[in-house]
């Protein structure tokens, strides 16, 4: 059973107000240059202050909407002529923060945005988070609102939780909830082989995963707050939830009741399974497209893994990708599809998989990665951002691609190996 599985796997203040700074930034022909200043008290450990600084700087860089100064700078919170201008850096903006802790452990961040041309304070806000280990989300919140402040496209996805499964030993894996940088991590399922986690809804208050710890693979739904889990389905050979409908009421699952992996739609309320594909080979990794009326999936019906689509309730199958000879994972958003394709060893080295982006409406195709093993892509809600798993040097990392900026970033997992991801 495990061998068959591995085969399928392979295949509290007001928001920033409107003001002149927005107009200054919008009229610029280049990215606004910004520096960060740490104005925290010496009572706060320098180690924590620098970790917070590093995440916030990283967020602004990953947004691709700022020219970020890397240098760790300190200042007073009120500032002076030198601290409010930093003329030698030729800045447009200065973001100043002051970190403090309340008696109950709550982290408070006082934040100022300064116009480095005038030296004037533009806006101020106080941010709070009650759990210290979630401080990365405090930084993400600041970055998201600063991004909104300058009128750039949203990076709200930075505040979302990532859920992933990681291998810890032979036939052992855990389900982990994290932020996109993997700076915050919380293990929510452990013991045995637990794989393919999938968020149950946009609120991210529940998730599905497959357990291979009993006589048969079992799909569970877990409530994040209570930790209570509910058995949804059991099956033979393979059972994976690969997508959830926009209303959260239907699941796309891959099942192999007769040693044949096919795509099904499971209605949660009616507790009914509808078989979508019927093929004597392997159909896996399904995802909803076209307002949840069609399914895109991976199949070996050409003699090698490739990407196909099929309307739910129809027998007609459409080939979606005409590039590559081993296309084994896929994600869709609107009319765009991102997939992983194995390259010829003579061109890119042994066991190289790259990500490609196509449009269902045109012949558009764009290569997103160049080297390494890049698998399991997932679109963010904004269609400008793709998350994926990158394997290199016996390590794994969470990768983030910013499509409009043509940039990618990698956040390595220090312990274990990432098996699958969702956000």
* pLDDT surpassing 60 at residue 6: no
Helix (H, G, I), strand (E, B) or coil at 246: coil
Tell me what pLDDT residue 381 has.
81
pTM to 2 decimal places: 0.89
Going by pLDDT thresholds of 50, 70 and 90, the confidence category of residue 216 is: very high
Average pLDDT estimate for 54-66: 97
* pLDDT surpassing 80 at residue 18: no
Nearest to 11 by CA among 366, 392, 340: 340
Tell me what pLDDT residue 15 has.
29
Sort 303 into a burial class: Cβ within 10 Å, 0-12 / 13-18 / 19+.
Answer: exposed
Cα 253 from Cα 240, distance rounded (Å)? 5
Helix (H, G, I), strand (E, B) or coil at 305: coil
Cα 146 from Cα 143, distance rounded (Å)? 5
Average pLDDT estimate for 275-297: 93
Tell me what pLDDT residue 2 has.
43
Cα 23 from Cα 390, distance rounded (Å)? 39
Tell me what pLDDT residue 123 has.
94
Tell me what pLDDT residue 372 has.
87
| Mean pLDDT, the chain, integer | 90
Average pLDDT estimate for 169-182: 96
Q: What are the sequence ranges of the domains in the chain? A: 20-149
Average pLDDT estimate for 147-158: 95
* pLDDT surpassing 80 at residue 371: yes
Cβ contact 113:91 at 8 Å: no
7: number of Cβ within 10 Å: 14
Please spell the DSSP secondary structure of 108-166, one letter per residue.
Answer: EEEEEEEETTTTEEEEEEEEEES-GGGHHHHHHHHHHHHHHHTTPPP-GGGGSPEEEEE
Residue with tokens 């949840």: 292
CA distances from 114 to 37, 78, 95, 125, 351 (A): 11, 11, 6, 12, 49
In CATH terms, the superfamily for domain 20-149 is TolB, N-terminal domain (3.40.50.10070)
Helix (H, G, I), strand (E, B) or coil at 399: strand
Residue with tokens 């405090």: 138
CA distances from 239 to 5, 232, 325 (A): 9, 11, 26
Q: Quickly count helices (H) and strands (E) in the chain.
A: 6, 30
Tell me what pLDDT residue 190 has.
95
């Amino acid at each position: 059973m495990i061998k068959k599985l591995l085969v399928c796997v392979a295949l509290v203040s007001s928001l920033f107000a409107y003001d002149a700074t927005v107009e200054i930034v919008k009229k610029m022909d280049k990215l606004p240059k910004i520096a960060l200043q740490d104005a925290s008290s010496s009572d706060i450990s320098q180690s924590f202050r620098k970790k917070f600084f590093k995440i916030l700087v990283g967020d602004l860089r990953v947004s691709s909407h700022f020219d970020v100064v890397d240098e760790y700078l300190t200042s007073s919170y009120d500032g002076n002529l030198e601290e409010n201008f930093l003329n030698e850096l030729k800045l447009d903006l200065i973001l100043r923060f002051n970190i403090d802790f309340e008696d109950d452990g709550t982290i408070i961040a006082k934040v100022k945005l300064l116009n480095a041309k005038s030296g004037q304070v533009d806006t101020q806000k106080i941010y709070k988070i009650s759990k210290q280990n979630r401080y990365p989300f405090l930084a993400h919140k600041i970055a998201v609102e600063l991004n909104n402040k300058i009128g750039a496209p949203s990076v709200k996805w930075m505040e979302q939780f990532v859920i992933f499964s990681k291998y810890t030993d032979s036939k052992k894996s855990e389900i982990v909830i994290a932020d996109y940088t993997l700076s915050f991590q919380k293990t929510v399922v452990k013991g045995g082989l637990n794989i393919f986690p999938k968020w149950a809804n946009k609120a991210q208050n529940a998730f599905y995963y497959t357990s291979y710890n009993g006589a048969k693979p079992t799909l569970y739904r877990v409530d994040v707050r209570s930790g209570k889990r509910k058995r949804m389905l059991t099956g033979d050979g393979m059972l994976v939830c690969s997508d959830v409908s926009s209303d959260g009421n239907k699941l796309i699952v891959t099942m192999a009741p007769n040693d044949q992996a096919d795509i099904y739609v499971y209605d949660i309320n009616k507790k009914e399974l509808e078989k979508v594909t019927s093929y004597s080979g392997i159909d896996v990794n399904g995802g909803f497209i076209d307002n949840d009326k069609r399914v895109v999936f991976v199949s070996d019906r050409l003699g090698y893994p490739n990407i196909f689509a099929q309307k739910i309730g129809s027998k007609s199958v459409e080939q979606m990708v005409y590039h590559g000879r081993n296309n084994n994972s896929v994600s869709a958003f609107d009319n765009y599809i991102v997939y992983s394709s194995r390259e010829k060893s003579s061109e890119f080295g042994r066991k190289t998989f790259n990500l490609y982006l196509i449009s269902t409406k045109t012949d558009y195709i764009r290569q997103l990665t160049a080297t390494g093993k890049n698998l399991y892509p997932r679109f963010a809600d904004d269609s400008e951002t793709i998350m994926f798993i990158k394997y290199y040097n016996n390590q794994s990392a969470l990768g983030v691609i910013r499509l409009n900026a043509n940039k990618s970033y990698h956040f390595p997992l220090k312990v274990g190996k990432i098996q699958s991801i969702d956000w």
